[in-house]
Structure 1
Amino acid sequence: MKRQKQIPESYWIPLLTVAFTILYLVFPTNNSSVDAYYYAASVKYCDELFHPHHLLYNATFRLFFNLPFFNNEEINILQGMKMANSIIGGICLYLFSLLLKRTGRSIKEIFRIILLTGSSFAVMRYSSENEVYLFPLAFSLSASIIYQGYLNNRSLPSLLISGLLASFAVLYHQIGVFWWLGLFVGLIIFRHPWKSKLVFVTTVVPVILVYGIVAFKLSEFEKNFTGVFQFALRDYLSPGFDKTPGWENFFFTPVNFIRSFVQIHGYIFRMIGENILWIIPGLVSMLLIGAVFIRNRFLIRKIEIMNLPFFITHLIILVFYFVFAFIAEGNAEFMVMIPFLGYLLLFSKIKIRNISMVLFAIALLVWNVSYGLIPRNSFNFTDYIMLESWIKKTPDATFVIKSDQQVISRLYYQSGIEVYPQIIKSPSSLIQQGMSVTGLYSKLDTLIARENQIYTDCVKYPGILSRRGVIDTGEDDYFFTEYEYEPVDSVETLFGTFFLQRIDSR
């Protein structure tokens, strides 16, 4: 009997990363964020291709879609950008495997860590969406790979390349600055020669040059260093920027840290409530986790697999990102690198039984695909399609919308029109921004007196355990008790039933 050929170990990691890439490609989200639509619209209509927050992201895609094969009006820009992020997600996993290999791990151990990382919800989420965070992560991981080589051979060219890669990450999203800064702090703490520090500092020059070139092309900024500085930090210097810590910071930071690894959302309960079979993936995941702890299968022991400077440097990077995410009210977007850095550091200090790691990874995979990728791909979460239909067929009407920016972004992508004065923020949104609703009362009263049509989706808005549900002030229902209203349309979604109400009079 012929013995079956086994797949060589050298193929394991590439095949695993390809498998994850295919998984992300098969399940792109169909509930894209406001930013995803805005980026796609910017690329589609060549508008704001150089946003300071993510300077080269839109421009890169515009260049890509200018290529002969892709320069086609039938191309779906949004879907194309999602596909690119799926591929970059797979590349990030492969780069992470190279980084793990540099720290002396075996292929089997790397395989298990990549299985865990690729199954983490943050990686799945942003590998199936048009967001900007995986591009800088790919450059940052590449920078760390070369940085590890520098620590071994003290080669200044290696350090230069590492710094340049970390700087390119900043050009794709400013959050990359924390990775660059962490690598630089590592050079300082461990007293590397002044030449090394100087070489690394020079790698920030391309960032300054690119920002300078773009800023000089914009008429609204001065043609000097001050203008470049104002352009680069435009979002942070705006009057509405206020990051004074509140209860949201302390609540959402730990929640979204957990969600970096496993999806937690109120819609999971609705899925199970509507079809009890959806409980099966959850039970399978829990059984796998339970099996880990039977007969001491977990077995943790301490190890030392990474040199101290490399470990401390990346611990500093992790702390930088975590603190920044905290300042940004626990923004999940700023935690996409947490699984990579977390697993890199965790499995440098402890050893978990092999079977336990595999069971954990499979449990994560089953849970996050079933309750993360599939719902985001296959279910409708919101009432946006209904709202868009009504806005298009009643262009003279006024709409008070809960998620006004999301709807405007979607309409912008569809039509190329960016401004919709007939769409007004909801009372709860105004209150969250520290504004008064008195002006909204006056505006609606004036419109009613003129016999203008007014619609809103804010009344009887579905309550679900989500970020919006937690921070919602509940002001909308109270606000509209001052008016008479009647439902004119509704839509059933995974989040619940949304109603479109026509506002008549006080």
Structure 2
Amino acid sequence: MEWLLVGVLTALCLLLPTHNSTLDAWYYAACVRHSHELLLPHHLLHNIVGWLWVQALPNSVDTLMALKALNALAFGACLVVLRSLLRRVGGIGAPVAGWLLVVGSSFGMLRFATENETYILPLLLSLLASRSWWQAITEGGSKHWLLAGTWAVGAVLLHQIHAGWWLALLAGTVAANGSRKWQKTLLYALPALLVPLAYAAALPSWNLPFTPTAFWRFVFHDLYAGQAGAPPSGRTLLLTAVNLVRTFGQMHGSTLALLRRWPMLSGIGLLSAGLMALAGLKLWQAQRQAARHRASALNQAAQSGNGVAAKRLFGWVHAVALLLQVGCALWAEGNAEFMVMVPALLALLLVNRPAMPAALPWAGASLLLWNLAFGLVPAHLLQLTHAAALLTRVQQDPAAWWLLADPNLVLNQLHYHTGQPVGPPNVLPAPALLVKRPGQSPAQFRAWLAARRAAGQRVYTDALDGPGLLDRARITQGGPEAHRALLAGYHLARVDSLPSSFGPVYLTEIQ
């Protein structure tokens, strides 16, 4: 059953890649396709791995699709390693199949297994690190400590977010009982020397000198560029909570639009909700039954003290990893991408809970049904954005100015198709986003717009009318009303409609 689940879930990801890729997905694919910026600070070696993968395939294979397939295969490998870990930590009677179904059906896993993003490959290496670390604390042997550190460092080089997992394993290594503690710690930590060496070796690719300042700013490039981190706020807490739930089940402004387009989805949604309610009932019943037998369970635990101690230490370490990952996501404005490892970490933490097996099959079936119906299948079959039609219009009228709701998506697609890493200067953010750029203001924007109109240049925007789905961008950036306020006094003429599966997005000329 376990291997069947791994095979089916992996096949689903291979068969249902998204046809609505994100701006980051297009950018990474463009870098790999044209060998541009293969060493990016936040995930140093990820594009290198993708480039090697694409080089091994026939030239006729589309780069973006090939990279999505790589993530789908890495997703399957994650489930294989997780299966091995759950078997080792949970013992013979562990509900491994149930946990594989829950983790593999979680939206965070499925979403990035069907997209060209940077989160599945490092998760695979962190899981391998945890498996080697478990072998080290239960079997001993220098090679296991060294392997654990090597896998964990590899994960960090694929994405910096996994530094939290590396730190958690380091803390567990220091806290572990037994002889030669510091020798084991040294063996685990030794591969970490590869991190500064790799970043130093990458400096020339960015035309940076070998100086401490250049090195430091390169390692923390996204932080200095303002692309990571934000002070805590009510909005940050809200986004963190929403995205934590969304890590398991797809929730989006598109959900209601999908129900309007496909009313039959309401039946699937009700069935999924019923299965989840049944999982809750099964869990409650199992917990009541477990409470009656708690004394005998404690006696059994006391008879196998060494195994319990190892499991307790393993659980503590991965609880720390979970807290660090969620804390980092909170710091990054509730970034859902930084929570992709949460389902796997929860499985490792809860695998020995006696009440869980009764609920897992129902919860897993509910998640799979929901996330297929409202996540993978629509993303594969529907045109959720108007990006393709917009890209055509931009290319047809290169002399016009384009103030776009998602300019980087268009620019990255142009990069992918043309091989030109620097996009045209006439593609800019929509008005309310443009004025938030450093050194910009509403007065400067209006002066710029007046100059464009005085010169007889056409100015278009796609940010004023459309389906109006509630998503992260709308919450953080504001809706059409924020753009209209900056365009007061101008005539706004609809000149075209760009199709999407949720209704047209209107192209407006600012006159």
Same-fold call, TM cutoff 0.5? yes
- 1:369 corresponding residue in structure 2: 372
- Corresponding position: 1:502 with 2:509: yes
1:483: Cα distance to partner? Answer: 1.0
Over 3 Å counting, the alpha-carbon distance change for 1:357 and 1:71 in structure 2 is: closer
- Corresponding position: 1:428 with 2:432: yes
**2-structure distance, mates of 1:239, 1:371:** 33
- 1:487 corresponding residue in structure 2: 494
**2-structure distance, mates of 1:204, 1:60:** 19
Conserved in 1, the CA contact under 8 Å of 2:69 and 2:114? yes
Q: Residue 4 of structure 2: which of 15, 20, 23 is its match?
A: 15
Conserved in 2, the CA contact under 8 Å of 1:120 and 1:339? yes
Percent same amino acid among aligned pairs? 29
1:88 is matched by which residue type in structure 2?
A
2:494 is matched by which residue type in structure 1?
P
- 2:137 corresponding residue in structure 1: 151
3-state SS of paired residue (1:103): helix
- 2:255 corresponding residue in structure 1: 268
3-state SS of paired residue (1:50): coil
Over 3 Å counting, the alpha-carbon distance change for 1:427 and 1:104 in structure 2 is: same
Q: Residue 78 of structure 2: which of 89, 92, 96 is its match?
A: 92
- Corresponding position: 1:119 with 2:105: yes
- Corresponding position: 1:32 with 2:32: no
Over 3 Å counting, the alpha-carbon distance change for 1:92 and 1:468 in structure 2 is: same
1:27: Cα distance to partner? Answer: 0.8
- Corresponding position: 1:244 with 2:249: no
**1-structure distance, mates of 2:16, 2:69:** 10
3-state SS of paired residue (2:77): helix
Conserved in 2, the CA contact under 8 Å of 1:459 and 1:480? no
3-state SS of paired residue (1:175): helix
1:473 is matched by which residue type in structure 2?
G
Per mean C-alpha deviation after superposition, the further-off stretch among 242-251 and 298-307 is 298-307
- Corresponding position: 1:65 with 2:54: yes
1:348: Cα distance to partner? Answer: 2.8
**2-structure distance, mates of 1:80, 1:107:** 38
**2-structure distance, mates of 1:420, 1:246:** 36
- 2:189 corresponding residue in structure 1: 201
1:209-228 alignment runs, 5 A limit:
209-215=197-203, 217-218=204-205, 220-228=207-215
1:52: Cα distance to partner? Answer: 1.4
1:99-498 alignment runs, 5 A limit:
99-106=85-92, 109-190=95-176, 193-215=181-203, 217-218=204-205, 220-238=207-225, 243-292=230-279, 298-300=285-287, 301=290, 307-354=311-358, 356-418=359-421, 419-430=423-434, 435-474=440-479, 475-498=482-505
- Corresponding position: 1:48 with 2:53: no
2:321 is matched by which residue type in structure 1?
I
Per mean C-alpha deviation after superposition, the further-off stretch among 44-53 and 236-245 is 236-245
Please list the CA deviations of residues 358-385 of structure 1 after superposition, one character each: whole Å capped at 9, or x if unmatched: 1111111111100010111111121211
3-state SS of paired residue (2:351): helix
1:102: Cα distance to partner? Answer: 1.0
Conserved in 2, the CA contact under 8 Å of 1:458 and 1:477? no
**2-structure distance, mates of 1:292, 1:220:** 56
**2-structure distance, mates of 1:344, 1:451:** 63
**1-structure distance, mates of 2:44, 2:412:** 19
Over 3 Å counting, the alpha-carbon distance change for 1:437 and 1:71 in structure 2 is: farther
Per mean C-alpha deviation after superposition, the further-off stretch among 115-124 and 466-475 is 466-475
**2-structure distance, mates of 1:41, 1:440:** 31
1:213 is matched by which residue type in structure 2?
A
Over 3 Å counting, the alpha-carbon distance change for 1:343 and 1:296 in structure 2 is: closer
3-state SS of paired residue (2:487): helix
CA RMSD in angstroms comes to: 2.1
Per mean C-alpha deviation after superposition, the further-off stretch among 117-126 and 407-416 is 407-416
Over 3 Å counting, the alpha-carbon distance change for 1:25 and 1:241 in structure 2 is: closer
Conserved in 2, the CA contact under 8 Å of 1:383 and 1:491? yes
Per mean C-alpha deviation after superposition, the further-off stretch among 478-487 and 100-109 is 100-109
1:295: Cα distance to partner? Answer: 8.1
TM-score calculated relative to the size of structure 1: 0.91
Over 3 Å counting, the alpha-carbon distance change for 1:289 and 1:235 in structure 2 is: closer
**1-structure distance, mates of 2:426, 2:275:** 52
**2-structure distance, mates of 1:461, 1:445:** 26
- 1:7 corresponding residue in structure 2: none
Conserved in 1, the CA contact under 8 Å of 2:86 and 2:94? no
Q: Residue 62 of structure 2: which of 76, 88, 93 is its match?
A: 76
Structure 2 runs not aligned, ≥5 long = 292-296, 302-307
Over 3 Å counting, the alpha-carbon distance change for 1:195 and 1:218 in structure 2 is: same
1:54: Cα distance to partner? Answer: 1.2
Conserved in 2, the CA contact under 8 Å of 1:42 and 1:58? yes
